[in-house]
Amino acid sequence: EVQLVESGGGKVQAGGSLRLSCTVSGFTFDDYYIGWYRLAPGKGPQGISCTRSTDGSSLYIDSVKGRFTISRNNAKNTVYLQMNSLKPEDTAVYYCAIKMGLVTDALKMGDPDYWGQGTQVTVSS
């Protein structure tokens, strides 16, 4: 059984930082994309970032470029999302996600094949 378990959400003021973690178990494919999407109140899922398992290349949507950084520790089967300069519009539930196939746009992580239970991020102004 594939499991993705997120942690690290919380409440911060605008300009603050958080680091999300996602530990994956039970997933045995070699070529995939792992990353994050978020779900804000009243909005649809929005893919925000991903990294490819084979070469570590990464993608971001424009609104988080320069503020968010995705990374992974293969030995721990864990992927991270470092979020800096947070804005109130970043408030959402953040989900770790895996997508198979070719991903050329981070937005596509909003339609994943596997995902976790989510972690709440709240940014106050």
pLDDT tens-digit series, residues 43-59: 999 999 999 999 999 99
Taking each continuous run of H as one helix and of E as one strand, the counts in the chain are 0, 11
pLDDT tens-digit series, residues 10-41: 999 999 999 999 999 999 888 999 999 999 99
pLDDT at residue 1, rounded to an integer: 94
- Sheet of 18-25: strand order equals 3-7, 18-25, 78-83, 68-73
pLDDT at residue 125, rounded to an integer: 95
What span, in angstroms and rounded, lies between the C-alpha atoms of 103 and 109? 8
In the chain, which residue ranges form alpha helices assigned H by DSSP? Answer: none
pLDDT at residue 86, rounded to an integer: 98
pLDDT at residue 29, rounded to an integer: 87
Identify whether the C-beta of residue 6 lies closer than 8 Å to the C-beta of residue 21.
yes
For residue 122, what are the CA distances in angstroms to 13, 33, 51, 86?
8, 26, 24, 9
pLDDT tens-digit series, residues 61-115: 999 999 999 999 999 999 999 999 999 999 999 999 999 999 999 999 999 999 9
For tokens 């864990």, what's the residue? 78
Residue 60: its H or E element: strand 58-60
